[in-house]
Amino acid sequence: MTGVPLIEVEDLRIDLDDGSRRVAAAEGISFRIDRGETFGLVGESGCGKSITALALIGLLRQPLSIGGGVIRFDGQEIQHLSAARQRDLRGNRIAMIFQEPMTALNPVSPVGRQIAEMFVLHKGKSWREANQLAVEALASVRVPAPERRVNDYPHQLSGGMRQRVMIAIALACGPDLLIADEPTTALDVTVQAEIIELMRNLCAERGTAILMISHDLGLVANVCRRVAVMYAGRIVEERGSADIFRAPSHPYTQGLVASLPRLGSRAALGRSRLKEIAGVVPAITSFPDGCRFNPRCTQATDICRTVAPTADFLEAGGLVRCHHHA
């Protein structure tokens, strides 16, 4: 890790203001992504991974707001930039694709025009040039017959094709960072694999870093070089993705890895139950004291119930936030 990281988040805190009081929906979030790197953020619903992404692109809306910390993009602090400057970053240098390719495209506008608009908006191209570039962009995401497809409306495309179009739009301006928020959840498994492959190849070709957000640890570990696991608004473990599978340190990560079905294992054949993590994620307004995972943790001791663990750096690289980590 040398040079200026592409994006560096330090001690980010995201507040939820419910009118009478402010609670931290996420806190102590720190990570860095280098140029061209792939980084995964994994966690259950409501653990704060999506709002972390929104904070990065400056789109937190009431009742959420950034309560503290620093976000540096390419060495420059961006959390206090004016709305117009943040808008220049969005789509141009930081792009994002969403979970729902069904709804993320404007239904009344041909897909080619939607891609072309990015070139007009961020690169100052004329519509004529932009339309030409849109055909090329569609071709680059391997949509067959792109010169005809540019005139199609989103409803004429399948889910996989729409997600390809989304990727084409997101990568149109050659962003430095692509945030993918559950990019394949709404797709068939076979299409999923194609889309992930496509996204990974395109980003590798262009040196675009990926921040992938998902609840699917297997998928993220497959795509990303490093993975951070979030639980209840905190990053509990951050490791290389091979390490996290081989030797998870945090009890929560251990639970996640143990709960993955494995092909050919007895659990997958239905003869025994998959391992699960007992209990549910606490609500944002009632996070437990100490380690937030302690009510569900099998290894919890007294210190876990009173003192929040700090981040320990592991010798093999990465960090873990647990009093008893292996």
Partner 1 sequence: MKLRANLIIGGALFALAILVGVLAPWLAHTDPVLDANLLNAEEPPSWTWWFGTDDQGRDIYSRVVYGARVSLTVGIVSQLINSVIGVALGLSAGYWGGWWDDVVNALTNVMLAIPSLIFALAIMAVLGPGLTSLLIALGLTNWSFTCRIARASALSLRSQGYVQAATVLGYGDLRIMITQLLPNMLGPIVVIGTLGMGSAVLSEAALSFLGLGVRPPFPSWGSMLSDARDQITTAPWLSVFPGLAIFLTVLGLNLLGDGLRDILDPQSRSRRT
156 touches partner 1 by CB under 8 A:
yes
Q: Residue from 80, 148, 155, 262 that binds partner 1 (CB under 8 A)?
A: 155
Work out whether 134 is an interface residue with partner 1 (CB under 8 A): no
Segment lying near partner 1 (by CB under 8 A), choices 67-75, 113-121, 199-207, 270-278: 113-121
Residue 143 lies near partner 1 (rule: CB under 8 A): no
Q: Which of 92, 131, 222, 299 binds partner 1 (CB under 8 A)?
A: 92
Q: What backbone torsions phi and psi does residue 110 show, to the nearest 5 degrees?
A: -60, 145
- Smallest separation (angstroms) from partner 1 to the CB of 49: 16
Q: How many CB atoms lie within 10 A of CB 269?
A: 10
* 56 near partner 1, rule: CB under 8 A: no
Q: Per CB under 8 A, does 108 bind partner 1?
A: yes
Q: Classify residue 62 by burial, with Cβ atoms within 10 Å: 0-12, 13-18, 19+.
A: exposed
Interface with partner 1, residue 133, by CB under 8 A: no
| Other residues' Cβ atoms within 10 Å of the Cβ of residue 251 | 26
CA 113 – CA 153 distance, rounded (Å): 10
Stretch of 23-31, 98-106, 136-144, 312-320 contacting partner 1, by CB under 8 A: 98-106
* 117 near partner 1 (CB under 8 A): yes
Determine, following the binding rule CB under 8 A, whether residue 19 of this chain makes contact with partner 1. Answer: no
Residue 100 binds to partner 1 (criterion: CB under 8 A): yes
- Tokens 């117009």 label which residue? 84
Question: Are the C-beta atoms of 141 and 122 separated by less than 8 Å?
Answer: no
Nearest-approach distance from CB 267 to partner 1, in angstroms: 36
**By CB under 8 A, residue 123 contacts partner 1:** no
Helices (H), the chain: 49-56, 83-89, 111-123, 127-140, 146-149, 159-171, 189-206, 217-223, 241-246, 251-258, 302-306
DSSP track, 168-197: HHHHTT--SEEEEESTTTTS-HHHHHHHHH
Of the residues 31, 39, 73, 98, which one makes contact with partner 1 according to CB under 8 A: 98
- Give least dist CB 248 to partner 1, A: 32
- Among residues 240, 241, 200, 232, which one has the least CA distance to residue 297? 232
Using the contact rule CB under 8 A, the part of the chain among 63-71, 83-91, 143-151, 311-319 near partner 1 is: 83-91
CB neighbour list of residue 264: distance below 8 Å, 6 or more residues apart: none
Instruction: Tell me which of 12, 16, 71, 104 binds partner 1, using CB under 8 A.
Output: 104
Among 55, 96, 134, 221, binds partner 1 (CB under 8 A): 96
Closer residue to partner 1, CB minimum distance, 84 or 263 = 84
Does the protein bind partner 1 through residue 87 (CB under 8 A)?
yes
Residue 288: what are its φ and ψ, rounded to 5°? -70, 155
Which of 223, 261, 214 lies closest to 242 in space, CA to CA?
A: 223
Task: Examine residue 176 and tell whether it contacts partner 1 (CB under 8 A).
Answer: no
Residue 42 — φ and ψ, nearest 5°? -120, 145
- For 144, list phi and psi in degrees, rounded to 5: -65, 150
How many residues bind partner 1 (CB under 8 A)? The answer is 31
- The footprint of partner 1 (CB under 8 A) covers 57, 59, 84, 87-92, 95-96, 98, 100, 102-109, 117-118, 121-122, 153, 155-156, 166, 169-170
